[in-house]
Structures are given as structure tokens and as C-alpha cells.
Amino acid sequence: MTCVKQTRALIVAAAIVLTAISAAWAQQPAKSGVSAAPAYPDKPIRLISPFAPGGGATIVAHLIGQQLTERWGQSVVIDNRGGAGGAIGTGIAARATPDGYTLVMATASSVVINPLLSKVPFDPATDFLPVVRTTTVPLILVVHPSVPAKSVKELIAYARSQPGKLNFASSGDGTISQLAGELFKSMTGADMVHIPFRGGGPALNALLGGQVQINFSNILEALPQVRAGRLRGLGVTSPTRSPAIPDMPTIAEAGLPGYQVVQWSGVLAPADVPKTIVQKLNREIDRILSQPRLRERLRNGGAEPAGGTAEEFAAFIKADIAKWARVIKEANIRIKR
């Protein structure tokens, strides 16, 4: 009996020891052969801006990149890869390894309008995962002082009474300023003639000189002319009033309900980037965009901070593609690049 008791005691003791060893082993970090995945990010991140240095998208990329670098202790390198309306840099991002270390600062022009008008080396619907929308920038509807309309409603009535006699300028074929005018035409039934220029500056100069009567202009370029009385501003194209000019109504509230055009920027990741990384990027950039000093800096530059979830950004892009595809088809816009 004594031997049996001793044997049982040894078995119990051994079981206790093995349980303790197993528990301790489970708490140890994995070693060779079964190492845990490193926390993201553990090396520098490349944020591609598919435009030339100095543009709005690049400025936003630098602001976001600087904040991420400070928060994560890993460099965010801004890589300008301009050309082909943003197609070159965006295409590079689409082909990058989907590990979260290559991102792209997208815009309405680069991933919505450009692919609808020309052949690009990526599919915006399948090659990317939206991370977060960063900014929106409204246009402003301005007219030459010779136009008698003092409001959006009056302009609609005047344009309808002058079919084919009013010209609206744009910064070029297929640009957001042309599409803003084409959307205005389709929603009002006004017959206006599109006159493209090589950039927003030349288009605005033509309006100042009276060669054209209407322009949907970049708010930063046109606002000084409006304040000086050289042009008449009738409304902004955003869904809400712009903090840069709060006394000016939106076009929607001034006589054309449902009208909305915004230039926007946002971060995209290549398709197949792990969802956990997309969520981490979204949370961090969304927090950055909520900082009062950053918001003030963006607004001083004419941009409205955005933010929100990745899912909201995806829905926004989908709706933008559908809207501009319809406008391009109705206006029969064709561009060869």
C-alpha cells in the first residue's frame, strides 16, 4: 500500500509540474521557426503622390506623412510620381506589394475622372482598398460682371433665355471644372458652350477679360477676384458652405437642389492589404485630421478636412464614379491621351 501511495503521489506531483511548465511556455514569446509577425509599421512607409511637387494632393500628403512619422516613429516618405493625369503614380501603387508599406494619395481626377476618359494601368474598383478621405475642396461659380444674373436662380433663367450664346470656361477637357459645368447644364437644361483652356489660370483670365461669361473655378484662384469686385460669385459647389467664404450660399441652396461637385483627396492602399492594417491606418489618419491646428491649416488653404471610415470612403468613391460616368456619357466627352 505504501508503494501504491508513493506512486500516486509522484504522478500527481509530475502532473502539477507539467501543468506549470506548459503555462510558463505558453507565456513565452515565440522563437526560431515560429516567430510572431512584427507590429505594423516596422519600417518606412512610401506614400505616393501621383502629381508634381507643390500641388494640393502633395501638400496634404506631406501634412499627413509628417504626423504619422511623429506618431509611429517610422518615416513616411512622400514619393512624387506625376504624369498622365495621375495615372503613372497610381499605377505604381496598384502594382506594389500589398503589405501596407506603399500607399497612394488619390484624387477625384486620378481615380475617378481619368479612368473614365482614358486608358489607365489600373482598375480603381478592384486594384485598391480605400483607407480614408482626407480633404474636400469646393469650386466656386463665378460670372463676368456683364452677366446680369445676381443669383444662381437668375443665372439659370438667363442661360435658358440665351441658348448657345453663353460660354463657360474650364481648365481643360475632362477636368473637374468642365464636368462641373456639364453637370450644371444637364440639371438646368441650359445650353452653354464649353471653352477649354490650358489650366485654371488661363480660364480665369479669359473670364476677367470677358472672352467667356461663366467659370466653375478653384476657390483659391477666384476668391480674390470676387472680393475685388472683378468677378461676381454666385455659389460654391460643395454640399455645405465654405468656411473660406461663409456668406456665399451653396449652389444647391441658391436655386439648384441636389447640385454638388467637390474635388477631393484620400489615401488608398493596394488591394489585398490586410484589413487590420487598413483599419489601423484609418484610425490614425482620422485622428490626425481631427486636430484643430491641422484643420485650421487645411482650411486656410481652401480645403475642408474630411475623415470618416474606410467603408464611408469606399461608398463615396463608388457614388462619384457613377455620377461622373453619367455626366460624361450625357455630354459625350471624349479625350485621347
What does the domain layout of the chain look like in residue ranges?
A: 45-136+262-331, 138-236
Model pLDDT, residue 93: 98
Most distant CA pair in the chain, distance: 116
Q: Within 13 Å of residue 95, how many CA atoms lie on the same side as its CB? A: 8
* Cell numbers placing 36: 510572431
pLDDT above 70 coverage of the chain, percent: 88
Query: Is the per-residue pLDDT at 23 higher than 80?
Result: no
Residues 6+ away with beta carbon under 8 Å from 295 = 289, 305
Residue 171, beta-bridge partner list: none
The pTM score is 0.80
Residues 6+ away with beta carbon under 8 Å from 333 = 117, 173, 174, 178, 179, 182, 327
Model pLDDT, residue 3: 42
Pick one of 3.40.190.10, 3.40.30.10, 3.90.700.10, 3.40.50.1110 as the CATH number of 138-236: 3.40.190.10
Q: 24 — phi, psi (to 5°)?
A: -65, -40
What is the rounded average pLDDT of the residues 221-245? Answer: 93
What is the rounded average pLDDT of the residues 106-121? Answer: 93
What is the rounded average pLDDT of the residues 274-281? Answer: 97
Model pLDDT, residue 215: 96
Query: Is the per-residue pLDDT at 5 higher than 70?
Result: no
Model pLDDT, residue 15: 42
pLDDT in tens, 172-184: 888 899 999 999 9
Instruction: Tell me, yes or no, if the two domains 45-136+262-331 and 138-236 fold the same way.
Output: yes
Query: Is the per-residue pLDDT at 40 higher than 60?
Result: yes
Model pLDDT, residue 231: 97
Give the confidence band of 17 by pLDDT, cuts at 50, 70, 90. very low
Q: Are 289 and 266 in contact (CB under 8 A)?
A: no
What is the fold, at CATH topology level, of the domain defined by 45-136+262-331? D-Maltodextrin-Binding Protein; domain 2 (3.40.190)
